[in-house]
Each structure stands twice: as structure tokens, then as C-alpha cells.
């Protein structure tokens, strides 16, 4: 059975955004912010040439999300185990509301990510956030992934056939 037809069937399920839906630019930016190195993100936010003044709408709070797997990889879901998650909502004085959900318990990370999400939505700041934070984060992530793939590729098995001596 073609696995793609199976994911097409899953798309008709109750969830509004199945995994096959392409991510919006905001979702992609939020993903990069969530997976950023916290110290790195702090440095980047501190270096921003725009006002980062904001108020906290929902203070950073740590909780749990139950991670789900699928039976056999593509089947019905089951509960695998929980992950710690911290979430935060901030608002700029201009009204943009930024949200962040990040794995782990680092509240400063989450708050920075929410701030960047809010600034990214501000029409005057999107470009600067993209160029000073999102694009560099994407480049760092791609470089890290590339290294993992290249190191893993070096452990790929090359099979060769032994020729029997009497042949």
C-alpha cells in the first residue's frame, strides 16, 4: 500500500492541521525559534536594532504535552510519553501578540521566542527579524543537520560480493 494514500486519508481526520499541510511562514519561523539554542537566541534578541518593549499577556509557564506515536509508524495513534514544554504569550505596544511553545523548561528562551514571533508579525519589523534572527537560525539548523547527515553517511555500509577462490 502506498504510504502517501494513507496520509491522504489521515488528512480527512478530525485534526484541523494534518502533518501533510505545508507550514506557513509564521509556523516555520516559530519552529526555528523553538529549536534555537537559548543562549544564541538571547544574544540575537539583545542585538536587535528595534524596540523590544512588550508586555506579558501570559507569563511563561512550564507544563506537559503527551507525545503520540503511531502503531507501526503510520497506524492509529498511541500515547508514547510526555515532554516538558514551556509556553508564553507577549504583546507589543503596537498590538501584535506573539506566542511561543518550546520543549524544555527554559522560560527565557520561550519569552524570547514569543517576543520574536510578535515582532515578526509587525509589518515594519518582519524584514529585520527575518534577516537578523530567522534566516541565521535556519542557516545554523541546516548546517547542523548537514553535519549529522554527512557524519552518518560515512557509516553507510558498502556491500561487496566475495568471489570464491575456486571460481
Partner 1 sequence: MYVAVKGGEKAIRNAHKLLAKQRRGRTDVPALTIDQIAEQLAISVARVMGEGSLYDEALAALAIKQSRGDLIEAAFLIRAYRTTLPRFGYSEPLDTANMLVERRISATYKDLPGGQLLGPTFDYTHRLLDFTLAAEGEAPLDAVETAAIDEGPMPRVTDLLSDEGLMETDPLPQEDDVVGDLTREPLSFPADRDLRLQNLARGDEGFLLALAYSSQRGYGRTHPFTGEIRYGAVEVEFFAEELGFAVSLGEIKLTECQMVNQFDGSAKTPPKFTRGYGLVFGQVERKAMAMSMVDRSLRWEELGEECTAPVQDAEFVLSHSDNIQATGFVEHLKLPHYVDFQAELDLVRRMRKEWFAAREKRDEDLGLSETKEQEAAE
Least CB distance from residue 5 to partner 1, whole Å? 11
CA separation, residue 124 to residues 7, 84, 118 (Å): 39, 34, 12
Question: Residues with Cβ < 8 Å from 21, sequence gap 6 or more?
Answer: 11
Least CB distance from residue 15 to partner 1, whole Å? 6
| Calpha distance 130→118 (Å, rounded) | 12
* DSSP H/E element including 79: strand 77-92
Task: Mark the segment that binds partner 1 (CB under 8 A) among 27-35, 43-51, 124-132.
Answer: 27-35
| Residue list 52-81, contact with partner 1 (CB under 8 A) | 61-81
Kindly write out the interface string for residues 107-136 of this chain, putting x where it contacts partner 1 by CB under 8 A and - elsewhere. Answer: ------------------------------
* 148 lies in the binding site for partner 1 (CB under 8 A): yes
Label residues 126-153 b or e (16+ Cβ within 10 Å = b): beebeebbbeebeeeeeeeeeeeeeeee
User: Pick from 25, 42, 90, 101: which binds partner 1 (CB under 8 A)?
Assistant: 101
Nearer to partner 1, 28 or 51 (CB): 28
| Calpha distance 103→122 (Å, rounded) | 25
User: Pick from 8, 25, 56, 83: which binds partner 1 (CB under 8 A)?
Assistant: 83
- Short-list 5, 33, 37, CA closest to 119: 33
List of residues contacting partner 1 (CB under 8 A): 1-3, 6, 9-10, 12-17, 19, 24, 27, 30-31, 34-35, 61-85, 87, 99, 101-105, 145-157, 159
Amino acid at each position: 500500500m502506498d504510504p502517501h494514500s494513507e496520509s491522504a486519508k489521515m488528512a480527512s481526520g478530525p485534526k484541523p492541521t494534518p502533518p501533510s499541510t505545508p507550514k506557513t511562514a509564521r509556523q516555520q519561523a516559530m519552529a526555528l525559534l523553538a529549536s534555537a539554542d537559548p543562549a544564541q537566541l538571547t544574544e540575537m534578541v539583545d542585538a536587535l536594532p528595534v524596540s523590544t518593549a512588550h508586555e506579558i499577556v501570559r507569563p511563561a509557564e512550564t507544563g506537559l504535552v503527551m507525545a503520540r506515536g503511531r502503531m507501526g509508524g503510520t497506524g492509529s495513534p498511541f500515547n508514547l510519553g510526555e515532554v516538558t514544554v514551556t509556553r508564553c504569550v507577549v504583546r507589543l505596544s503596537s498590538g501584535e501578540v506573539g506566542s511561543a511553545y518550546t520543549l524544555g523548561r527554559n522560560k527565557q528562551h520561550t519569552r524570547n521566542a514569543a517576543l520574536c514571533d510578535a515582532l515578526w508579525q509587525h509589518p515594519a519589523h518582519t524584514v529585520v527579524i527575518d534577516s537578523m534572527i530567522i534566516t541565521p537560525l535556519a542557516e545554523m539548523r541546516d548546517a547542523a543537520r548537514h553535519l549529522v547527515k554527512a557524519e552518518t553517511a560515512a557509516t553507510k555500509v558498502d556491500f561487496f560480493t566475495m568471489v570464491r577462490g575456486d571460481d
